[in-house]
Amino acid sequence: MTENERIAIAARLHVALRRKTGRVTDTEWMAANADYAIEVLRFARAHAAEQHDAELAAIADRLEQAMAPIVAAARLRETLLRQGAPGAPASRYVGGLR
């Protein structure tokens, strides 16, 4: 899936969260950063389950599928960091949504 497609899905999730919860997200960062996307998905799914919102859950599922390769790469990068692999990048999203 291309970056533009990920951004489009992230934008749909952003609009849905803004309309339904008042939450503002960063669509470009969500489409590029696995940790941020996971946290936004966690929040969206919790709200969808609480409110029985199938539309929000469906958008979250689509974003999760679109982000799967990036999440896998991020997990590999974290594994390499833990193992002390030389040249592994040290950047990581830290914390949760406020």
CA distance 88 to 84: 8
pLDDT for residue 97 is more than 80: no
- The reported pLDDT for the residue numbered 6 is 93
- The reported pLDDT for the residue numbered 89 is 55
Mean pLDDT of all residues in 74-92: 70
Instruction: Count how many Cα atoms sit within 13 Å of the Cα of residue 85 in the half-sphere of its side chain.
Output: 11
pLDDT tens-digit profile of 44-53? 999 999 999 9
The structure's pTM equals 0.78
pLDDT band at 78 (very low <50, low <70, confident <90, very high): confident
CA distance 70 to 63: 11
Consecutive H or E run containing 14: helix 3-21
pLDDT band at 87 (very low <50, low <70, confident <90, very high): low
pLDDT tens-digit profile of 53-69? 999 999 999 999 999 99
